[in-house]
Structure 1
Amino acid sequence: MPIEIRFDVPALIILIGIVFGSLLSFFFIKKSFKYNKPNLFMGFLLLTFTLNMVEGWLNYTGLIFRCLHLTNFSEPTNFLIGPLLFIFVSRQLNEAPKKREWLHYIPFVFWIAYCMFFFMQSADFKYNSNIYALGFDLEPLPIDYSKTDDNPLGFRSFVNELTMLHLIIYTVAIFYKINLKANSFNETLFSTKNSTLKLVRNSNCHFAILLVLFIVIKATFKEDFGDYILYIYLTFLLLFNIIQIMNSAQYFEQRSSFLEFPSLKYQKSTLTQKSKASIVEKIKAVMQNDKYYKGKTVSLSNLALTINESTHHVSQAINENLNMSFFELIAYYRIEEAKLLLASEEGKKLVIEEIAERVGYNSKSAFNTSFKKLTNQTPSEFRSNH
């Protein structure tokens, strides 16, 4: 019996979400290597969501019957979602990688291995599996189930329950981690004024909404039929991320969120001149005393977290009191440090690449560009003249 392909408004919305998710995950992963390492985990998290949406779209439209080998291909990634968000939040809060961080991925690896029992089944077996799981009014194919065993330990019968439990544990753990960080600033999870803590808190809130929606859908609909509602909601979250990127030229250079609504720069800001001066003094202190600009996690959000101020307020104070952008400020301190080093006896013996690395640059070309822009000389010319 031919399968009728369903392509209606929900199918179109989910397809748009797949396109958004693919683009966002690509750019998050690609840009994270150059700018902000924590965003790598957000990129893989978005890729995981996208893969789930692809499978959901194939199931909803009925196209899964045209590519039976893809049946349940994204199921193991259910156990990647929690760990990726947890590690993303840890990196956003400047926590160093843990030696046993790989333990988070054990359920995912186990489930891939266990799903091999299903993946190796025949196309006829997967055809029937889709009929039962998706509620299609089709006649199942005759199969001798006594000769097949896709679930020897019975674990896959409880995949939804295990996924829920896994995600609930990580959601609670993330909220606990954020609250501990807020307490260190004498704040609470929902009263914090720190922009980075707000960002990761809001990300986890949206994740919690997805989890609640997942639980409600599984409790309401038989098997996998209602999953398309979850993917429609996810599409709109991805759409808002696209809007955020379109409104921020430096989005990938900053710490990113699963969802953060765009806003106009400094509109209705309540920051007083006295407060701006106080923020500038804090910035100067961490730059001069702690050599913040040499760090490997330098970003506007990270600086705000370091001095326990709002990212928006820190940006405003730098722009309005110092007449610089954040990146110009970092470059200024790095080049000033480089000038001192180049003029020293020690610096005269070092190669330019080493000097660039010492002041916080990852490449010689970026160092040379910044140095010449601020001094009208190359580092080598400056050293020769001093």
Structure 2
Amino acid sequence: MDAATGPHTPDDARAGSGRHRVALVFGGRSDEHAISCATAASVLRALDRERYAVVPVGITREGHWVLVDDDPEALDIRDGRLPQVEDTGRQVIVPLGGVEHEWAWKDGEGQVHPLGEVDVVFPLLHGPFGEDGTIQGLLELADLRYVGCGVLASAAMMDKHVMKVLFASVGLPVGPYTVITDLQWQRDRAAALARAQALTFPVFVKPARAGSSVGVVKVDRPEDLEVAVDKARNHDPKVLVEQGITGREVECGVLGGRGTEPPRVSECGEITVSGHDFYDFEAKYLDEANVQITAPADLPDEVREEIRRIATAAFEVADAEGLARVDVFVAPDGSVVLNEINTMPGFTPYSMYPQAWAASGLSYPELVDELITLALERPLGLR
């Protein structure tokens, strides 16, 4: 059965003449497992099978790497159902570099079956154990080219505290915040809460190393802060407390340049939400009817250019590669505050990153193709 239209089998992964082998890696151990699956569904549909042979590799919630079916329908979010990677019993064996470059899979009886070499890995993992430099380090050790940011950028930008420190150090505008580490919370909870309560309310309490608004709580009163911190700590023992900023939520996409060219920045997009206090997980993925994305956003030229300048600077300070989405707030007076950079942004066709690029003249399939092209051009080793 053809891999583009039907279930995937190990033999389907073998490339035809002239086609690049692309391993899509998705799922993972983080709380964003389902979002990663939905992203993989979109990329599977977009890949040009005349140019690429696809090896779909799922990582279960327990961390098992398995060969899965090339079936986007099974990975979609439908009617509130969150997809997940099931253990297929086909264990993927990734080469660890050196003279060995052949991928393989092992069946339930221990028999090893070859998959051949892979030209590029497309890691579609969100959150810890994937977006945070861990899989990037594994791929670097294995001398495998891959889409997206390297180890340092992935790790530093995943940690919102480290990210803000780096941005502030070069003069990029960040909002007021404080950090509560696990040790601080255990040693002197009252002091940690006092630092957070010194901010102007409302505040947003976030796991420091998570995305998709998982575990984020908007807190309007100081007396509700402790419960919110405990909730965030269910996802990450390190917690960020950010002062709320009045303004419009605007995002834009950054795409690495070819060769020595500078990074490219998309049109700006704006998010407006109804029926939710803020752009939380439910609004992002389960209640799209109450979310409106406008791209390009209606902004004065000077504000739009300032956002694009900040986005380029953030991408370069992060030492980012491939792609990133930069999120800012635009205050009523037109000033811009940098919120965060996301090194593996939401990547369904309805997510802001692809929509911003679509508004800039680059379609979703073209965007996927460009990211793979950038990865194939990138040298191995230190760069």
Q: TM-score, normalised by structure 1?
A: 0.26
Larger radius of gyration: 1
Q: TM-score, normalised by structure 2?
A: 0.26
**Which has the larger share of strand?**
2
